[in-house]
Amino acid sequence: MLSERSKVSHRSIVDFERGAREPRVLTKEALARALEAAGVEFIPENGGGAGVRLKKGGKID
Tens of pLDDT along 3-58? 999 999 999 999 999 999 999 999 999 999 999 999 999 988 877 788 888 887 75
User: Which pTM was predicted?
Assistant: 0.80
Q: Are 27 and 46 within 8 A, CB to CB?
A: no
- Contact in structure between 45 and 60 (CB atoms under 8 Å): no
β-partners of residue 51 are 43
Name the DSSP letter for residue 8. -
